[in-house]
Amino acid sequence: MSESAKWYVVHTYSGYENTVSATIEKHVESRGLHDMIVDIQVPMETVTEITDNGPKTVERKVFPGYVLVKMVLTDETWHVIRNIRGVTGFVGAANKPIPLTEEEIQALGVEKVEVIVGYQVGDSVRINDGALEGFIGTVEEIAQDKDKVRVVVSMFGRETPVELRLDQVESIA
């Protein structure tokens, strides 16, 4: 079941994010919903504030009033979340929560997806996704922290650098 879980955004009263998160965890424990509600997060960022006493490092909520929940959406899980004190609802249309897309999840940094590449700079690779699918090129640069690879592809007799995601190319050995 947990493979079909998606990330949903739960709207809460401002300042209730941690309380709502803890309450969801309690409900998961007491009702045995481990395979239905997989993960709960309140996105935080570390910020250095300059005060009269000097710099001070604090944790601040990235999205005040919101909690991210990875779950399988059923009537039961919807009711469990919706009826928690401090929850005003899900982000989405009326009674139909809308899950976050893969791009939104990666942009938020909620889930770290590590791509293990089987190629290095200078290797020949085949593009396996996108507009240039099927083209063969040479790896010029790999930026794993940004999930990008630059491949030089020969198009119309010219060498053209193309920036792609790491999973859009595969080694041809």
With 60 as the cut, is the pLDDT of residue 126 above it?
yes
Q: Tell me: do 99 and 154 sit in the same domain.
A: no
pLDDT tens readout for residues 3-32? 688 999 999 998 999 999 999 999 999 999
> Domain boundary at 58, 81, 108, which?
108
End-to-end CA distance of the chain: 37
Q: What is the DSSP letter of 110?
A: -
pTM for the predicted model, two decimal places: 0.62
Give the pLDDT score at 11. 94
Q: What are phi and psi of 25, to 5 degrees?
A: -60, -40
* CATH number of the domain bearing residue 35: 3.30.70.940
Q: Are residues 54 and 135 in the same domain?
A: no
DSSP state of 91: S
Same-domain check for residues 67 and 140: no
Percent of the chain past pLDDT 70, that is, above it, reads: 93
Tokens read off for 19? 């309380």
